[in-house]
Amino acid sequence: MKTTTPRPAPLLRALALAALLPLPAAAQDTLLGGLDYPWDIETGAGVFYITEKAGTIGTLEGGRFTRLPVQTSVPVLDDRGGGLMGLALRPDFATTGRAVVYHHYGTPEARLNRVIEVERGADAWTETRVLLDAIPGHPLYNGGRLAFGPDGMLYITTGWTGNHALPQDPGSLAGKILRLAPDGSVPADNPFPGSPVWSVGHRNPQGIAFDDEGRLFAAEHGQSGNDEVNRIARGANYGWPLVEGDGAGAGMTPPLAHSGRSTWAPSGLAWHAGRLLVAGLRAEAVLGVSPDGTVAAAFPAGERIRDVLVSGDEVYAITTNRSPRRDGPSEDRLIRLAP
């Protein structure tokens, strides 16, 4: 049963609404146009790597953009919200050329997701091994973000698939944040023995980031409003679908911040200058979330922001101006933002 018992909320919940009001766009430079539904952006040694949902990884190096296919042992299903999604460069990427990607597969009637390791070659990125398979899939709720943590482990977000039982079931991979060793094995200190599950009760988390102290945060889409930014703890329960927003329940961990009745449609997440930066699709901005839960529009953009990247003192973002709920043309960009 859903409970709506109030729980303390940060003072500036109202700024979640203000963040959606028309605001002057932040100063921005277009570094690259012509992207086709980009989903994740990473960087290493001054090179940008961008996944595109149809199944390619683009590389921007020295002003030149190269788009290479990702060759997988089962085809990428590019349909609705599914396709080639998250990307994480392995810590040894500079010497091995290996990265990890999250991709949708199956059919529109039977959808799944998997996490694989790929290696960059001259003409393609090629699958080298499967790290995790048979993650439940959905037309819209797939999670899909990846990141290597300060502990060297791989963190993975998954969506709830519309099944109300799965996010609260530690035996299911749906509606979770997962944690694996780089070789795909389950770390011995995970909270559920033998399971990659790290935290439960998530709806559709599409952003993860670590702060300067190594603490993990996630951003996730709510049902109708109540988008959340959560501080993720080992074995914690974040409530979905039993509670959301200011709702409370025994054993449920409240969010650091949420959007109330409005929606940010949060996607990528990054840490910069003492606060979290949240890529907002519906907000058409990069939002800033302070450690006390204060929310503000850090970089108004006037476009749907899919992912945000911090490199040194610079803040970058990719746009996804086509919604997975409908088809249509999209002209997307890699931009550099200034406050």
- 6 falls within a domain: no
- 4 falls within a domain: no
Provide the 10 A C-beta neighbour count for residue 212: 9
- 5 falls within a domain: no
Q: Which of 339, 295, 291 is nearest to 315 (CA)?
A: 339
CB 212 within 8 A of CB 218: no
Question: pLDDT (tens digit, 0 to 9) for every residue of the chain, 339 residues total?
Answer: 333 333 334 333 334 434 444 455 667 899 999 999 999 999 999 999 999 999 999 999 999 999 999 999 999 999 999 999 999 999 999 999 999 999 999 999 999 999 999 999 999 999 999 999 999 999 999 999 999 999 999 999 999 999 999 999 999 999 999 999 999 999 999 999 999 999 999 999 999 999 999 999 999 999 989 999 999 999 999 999 999 999 999 999 999 999 999 999 999 999 999 999 999 999 999 999 999 999 999 999 999 999 999 999 999 999 999 888 765 557 899 999 976
pLDDT at 25: 66
pLDDT at 11: 32
C-alpha to C-alpha distance for 194 and 233, rounded to whole angstroms: 18
- 268 falls within a domain: yes
Residue linked to tokens 């699958």: 127
Residues facing 336 on adjacent strands: 29, 316
Q: Residues for the chain: how many in total?
A: 339
CB 177 within 8 A of CB 202: yes
Which CATH number covers residue 180?
Answer: 2.120.10.30
The residue segments making up the domain with residue 98 are 11-338
CB 258 within 8 A of CB 227: yes
pLDDT at 159: 98
- 3 falls within a domain: no
pLDDT at 323: 81
Angle (CA) 303-308-231 rounded to 5° is 120
Q: Count up the domains in the chain and report the number.
A: 1
pLDDT at 324: 80
Burial class (CB in 10 A: 0-12, 13-18, 19+), 149: middle
C-alpha to C-alpha distance for 111 and 242, rounded to whole angstroms: 25
- 266 falls within a domain: yes
pLDDT at 208: 98
C-alpha to C-alpha distance for 247 and 255, rounded to whole angstroms: 10
pLDDT at 12: 37
- 175 falls within a domain: yes
